[in-house]
Structure 1
Amino acid sequence: MNRHDVDWLGYWPAAPTPFTSAGDLDETALAQLMELYVSQGVHGVLLNGSTGEWFSQTPEERRRVAEIAVDAVDGRIPVVVGVTSYTIAESSELARHAARAGAAGALATPPPYVHPSAAEIVAFYEQVSSATELPFMVYNWPRGTAVDMAQVPGLMSALADIPHVAAIKDSTGDWNAMVSTLEEVGDRVRVFGSLAHRKGLALMLGLGGDGAIDGGGVGAPYAVPFFDAVADGNAELARYWVDKYQAISGRLIAPDYAGRFASPISQLKAAMWLLGQPGGVVREPLSPLVEPRAVAAIAEILREAGLIVREARLRAALAGEIA
């Protein structure tokens, strides 16, 4: 299996998992969120990734999230399901369930906390990716795993050679290392990374690169036409759209993927709530963003970018009533 076995490219939101204020999985909101993404024209969607708060869900909830999303999308765009876990056995079982549910692929980071060696990482992906016939996406997420696979010479190439691996999501905070990943394996597997900016545009028009998987998708109205313009080879139009996208993303997320106002997921869900989108609230151990100055700053960023803030929701948030 290689890059030609999948049609994964463009702008994908890493979907948040909507929870109610009581901490329950909001199944209705999740289905509505999938419908929103499809209506925005996104090119695919990732469930139960870092933004999906997989770490605060039970295995049963993670399976239910996958089922709801796949059913709601109904084949209109690819749905890739995150199966990250601390053990090979659990990741493999989640991958098998994703296959049964009808997902287009599975994704995982190396086991968090473990800090595995390069050889152990390769062994992990060999076993988990072979648990099903699904195309597999390797996910480099140093913020969550304490291992930056892009910094290990030859590791990305070894992972690209694993039979079921068709893509790599490289979320290293080192942009030059991401470029090296693309140079090393882009002819064999799809590469998603930090590409939704002018440097990324130049890279895609020259060296290559397939897309970006972005936490939450708030910037979809601008990122979708950006990647469409890239696919059409229209650099002038792409520059227009990516500048509008960066007016949101660049002011909310730091280059190392940290949030500028709170933890990334908390500030994302605050932004989605202000826009009237069905993102729900975070679940412990995360806390909702309720600090009035931060909420007001996020609202101003959204407004200045041309998005429509629900003013009644902003007033409620500033009064400490955000749901």
Structure 2
Amino acid sequence: MDRDDVTWHGYWPAAPTPFTADGLLDEESWRALLRLYAAQGVHGVLVNGSTGEWFSQSTGERRRVVEIAVDEVAGRFPVIAGVTAYTPDEAIALARHAAEAGADGLLATPPPYVHPGPDEIVHFYDRLSSATALPFMVYNWPRGVAVDISAHPGLAARLADLDNVVAIKDSTGDWLRMLGTVEAVSDRVRVFGSFLHRRGLAVLMELGGDGNIDGGGMGAPFAVPYYEAVAAHDAAAARAWADRYTALSSRLINPDYSGVFGSPIAQLKAAMRLLGQPGGHVRPPLLPIEDEARLQAIDAVLTESGLKAALGARG
């Protein structure tokens, strides 16, 4: 496989997994969130990723999240299942279930906590990506796993050469390293990275790159039309949408992907509640943001960025 075997592109939410206040998987809210994404015209969705709190779910819950997503989306856009785990066998079992459930592709980081070296990373992905016939997306997430694929010369290219790998999600905090990934492999695999700003637009128009997979997808009213303008080669419209997205994201997320007002997932779910969106509650070890001053600050960002008005106009 290569980049031409899939049509993956554009703006994808890395979906949060809604939990009830009692910590149960909230299946009704999960379906409602997927319907919201469909109404917003997103180009794909990642489930059970970092934002989906895979780390606090049981294996059965992770499987159920995928099953519901495939059923609810019903082919309207790709559903990619996150299968990150501590061992290859765990990840392979999740991958095979996702394939049986009808997912359109798979994604995983290197094993968390382990700090594998380049040869170990290649061996891990070789085993995992070949365990099913589904197209596979490598996820570079140094903040979560303490290994930066883009920091190792030639490693992204080695991973791009694996048979079922068709994409790399590069979420390094070093933007120039992300550009290095685009330069090294975008002719062979699709690259999802940090492109939702004017610098990113220049890269998409001239160098390469395919999309953003964005924690929670709150920016969809700005990001979906941005990518549609990029596809139409309408740079002026894309710049305007990029500026609107940046006015939102830059006040909530730091360059290293930490949250401005709390841990990113707790901050996301607090913001979604303020917007009336079905994000649900976080699950321990995360804690909800309940401080009134921080909630007011988040609410101000949602208002001043124009997101509330944009959602109202679409609603």
- TM range, normalised to the smaller chain? over 0.9
Could you tell me which residue of structure 2 aligns to residue 113 of structure 1?
A: 113
Offset from partner CA, 1:79-109 (integer Å, 9 cap, x none): 0000000010010010001101111000000
Offset from partner CA, 1:135-158 (integer Å, 9 cap, x none): 000000001100000000000000
TM-aligned CA deviation for residue 308 of structure 1: 2.6
Residue 211 in structure 1 maps to residue 203 in structure 2:
no
TM-aligned CA deviation for residue 293 of structure 1: 1.1
Unaligned runs of 5+ in 1: 310-323
TM-aligned CA deviation for residue 269 of structure 1: 0.3
- Identical amino acids, percent of aligned pairs: 64
- Please give the secondary structure, in 1, of the residue aligned with 2:308: coil
- Please give the secondary structure, in 2, of the residue aligned with 1:89: helix
Cα separation, 2, equivalents of 1:292 and 1:300: 12
Cα separation, 1, equivalents of 2:288 and 2:246: 24
Offset from partner CA, 1:115-138 (integer Å, 9 cap, x none): 001000000000000110000000
Offset from partner CA, 1:139-178 (integer Å, 9 cap, x none): 0000110000000000000000000000000000000000
Cα separation, 2, equivalents of 1:194 and 1:268: 18
Could you tell me which residue of structure 2 aligns to residue 274 of structure 1?
A: 274
TM-score by length of 2: 0.97
Cα separation, 2, equivalents of 1:250 and 1:203: 19
Could you tell me which residue of structure 2 aligns to residue 70 of structure 1?
A: 70
- Please give the secondary structure, in 2, of the residue aligned with 1:252: coil
Cα separation, 1, equivalents of 2:249 and 2:135: 29
User: Which amino acid counterpart does residue 150 of structure 2 have in structure 1?
Assistant: A
Q: Which runs of 4+ in 1 moved over 4 A?
A: none
Cα separation, 1, equivalents of 2:233 and 2:297: 35
Cα separation, 2, equivalents of 1:154 and 1:290: 45
TM-aligned CA deviation for residue 307 of structure 1: 2.6
Which moved further from structure 2: 298-307 or 150-159? 298-307
Cα separation, 2, equivalents of 1:306 and 1:182: 31
- Please give the secondary structure, in 1, of the residue aligned with 2:245: helix
RMSD value, Cα: 0.7
Could you tell me which residue of structure 1 aligns to residue 160 of structure 2?
A: 160
Offset from partner CA, 1:194-240 (integer Å, 9 cap, x none): 11011000110110110000000110000000010001000000001
Cα separation, 2, equivalents of 1:24 and 1:215: 21
User: Which amino acid counterpart does residue 305 of structure 1 have in structure 2?
Assistant: S
Could you tell me which residue of structure 1 aligns to residue 135 of structure 2?
A: 135
Cα separation, 2, equivalents of 1:147 and 1:250: 25
Residue 122 in structure 1 maps to residue 128 in structure 2:
no
TM-aligned CA deviation for residue 305 of structure 1: 1.6
Could you tell me which residue of structure 1 aligns to residue 199 of structure 2?
A: 199
Cα separation, 2, equivalents of 1:247 and 1:95: 37
TM-aligned CA deviation for residue 306 of structure 1: 1.7
Unaligned runs of 5+ in 2: 310-315
User: Which amino acid counterpart does residue 158 of structure 1 have in structure 2?
Assistant: R
Residue 223 in structure 1 maps to residue 223 in structure 2:
yes
Cα separation, 1, equivalents of 2:212 and 2:12: 6
Could you tell me which residue of structure 2 aligns to residue 20 of structure 1?
A: 20
Could you tell me which residue of structure 2 aligns to residue 238 of structure 1?
A: 238
